[in-house]
Structure 1
Amino acid sequence: MKTQNETNTAVMAPRAGRRWLIAAALALAAGAGGASFAIGAQGLPGPHGHAGHMAMDPAAMDAHIDKMVEQIAADASPDQKARVAAIAKSAMADLRPVHEQFRQAHASAHQLLMAPVVDRAALEQLRVEQMQRMDFMSRRVLAAVEDAADVLTPEQRAKFAGHLRSRIH
């Protein structure tokens, strides 16, 4: 949005929610990365109901998302909670296959590094593919954050931002 200053030149108006949106995207990307790890390995239960490294099936992930929405958006209406949960579940469904691709890439990197001669070109190709996966993940999480922001009121987004701020180190 542009405004006019005293000299009648166009000036970009500040976007109050932009910092919140970026912080939320980063936090959700980190959370999605952590959740994707929770989908596929093995281990004991951990914080927030995550299964640590234990596989989390789609039903368990949906239940976890519902629980987190209840905690984070406690003052949201039932309709808002349902919409935010649906947005998060859709994002997780889109990100679930990426976890398997990360697992396969990790195994490939291990094999490449254990070979008698390290194939630098193959490692570089693997790195490029991993960066593309991370870019996809980042874009998908940002889209989910933007969609969720559209559902919440400015006051609810401020509370959510406060929650995220307390979780980001």
Structure 2
Amino acid sequence: MKAFQIQNLLRVGTVAAALALGGVAAHAGGHGGHHKGGHAAMADGGMFGARMGHMLEIVNATDAQRSQIQAIFKAARQDLSGQREAGKKLHQQLATLYTATNIDAAAIESVRAQMSAQREAAAKRMSQASIEAARVLTPEQRARIGEVMKKRMARHADRRAG
């Protein structure tokens, strides 16, 4: 293999590793989604996303509802906090594998699968938290959030189309 091809392979591997770690970190560490109320963005697109505080304002959530929902997501973030360090280690393993003299496809696939499993576990935990939080709201409040989400999805679709 020519030196140029090896350099390109290393670049692609590094980018892939960075993207994979970014996903793990977003799920595990709650980054990228802190807004009013201090809640992490939902990676699974659940009812409670990055703008949860805003959503709770729209539905006129009571102080008791807000407190319960904040506690639910705080517990979920705490449950996932240990994944951040594990994600860093997987990223380091992947970077080492991509920069090795010989590329070990089976080892890279193994680390990729571990990263994927970690993201899936985080998404599942956040989905559980979202379900718990939805149960705190009334059916009318959930319906109002659903209306807002549909409007947002339509606006995003229009932007992509145009």
TM-score by length of 1: 0.59
Tell me the equivalent position of 2:83: 98
Q: RMSD across aligned C-alpha pairs, in angstroms?
A: 3.2
Tell me the equivalent position of 2:105: 120
Q: Which runs of 5+ in 2 are unaligned?
A: 1-22, 41-49, 157-162
Letter in 2 for 1:143: Q
Pick one of 35, 56, 74 that aligns with 1:89: 74
Deviation at 1:37, TM superposition (A): 6.4
Q: Which runs of 5+ in 1 are unaligned?
A: 1-29, 39-45, 51-61
Deviation at 1:36, TM superposition (A): 2.6
Tell me the equivalent position of 2:29: 36
Letter in 1 for 2:54: Q
Letter in 2 for 1:36: G
Taking a change above 3 Å as real, the CA distance of residues 150 and 167 of structure 1, as seen in their structure-2 partners, is same
Is the CA contact (8 Å cut-off) linking 1:69 and 1:81 kept in structure 2?
no
CA distance in 2, matches of 1:88, 1:167: 24
Tell me the equivalent position of 1:132: 117
Taking a change above 3 Å as real, the CA distance of residues 167 and 98 of structure 1, as seen in their structure-2 partners, is farther
CA distance in 2, matches of 1:78, 1:156: 14
Taking a change above 3 Å as real, the CA distance of residues 95 and 70 of structure 1, as seen in their structure-2 partners, is same
Is the CA contact (8 Å cut-off) linking 2:28 and 2:84 kept in structure 1?
no
Aligned length: 120
Deviation at 1:78, TM superposition (A): 0.7
Tell me the equivalent position of 2:19: none
Q: What do residues 13-47 of structure 1 show as CA deviations (whole Å, max 9, x unaligned)?
A: xxxxxxxxxxxxxxxxx8x9368363xxxxxxx8x
CA distance in 1, matches of 2:137, 2:34: 25
Tell me the equivalent position of 2:61: 76
- Percent identity reads 28
Deviation at 1:147, TM superposition (A): 0.4
Secondary structure at the counterpart of residue 29 of structure 2? helix
CA distance in 1, matches of 2:86, 2:100: 21
Is the CA contact (8 Å cut-off) linking 2:73 and 2:129 kept in structure 1?
yes
Pick one of 127, 132, 143 that aligns with 1:142: 127
Q: Which runs of 4+ in 1 moved over 6 A?
A: none
Is the CA contact (8 Å cut-off) linking 2:28 and 2:82 kept in structure 1?
no
CA distance in 2, matches of 1:132, 1:150: 27
Deviation at 1:162, TM superposition (A): 3.7
CA distance in 1, matches of 2:101, 2:69: 50
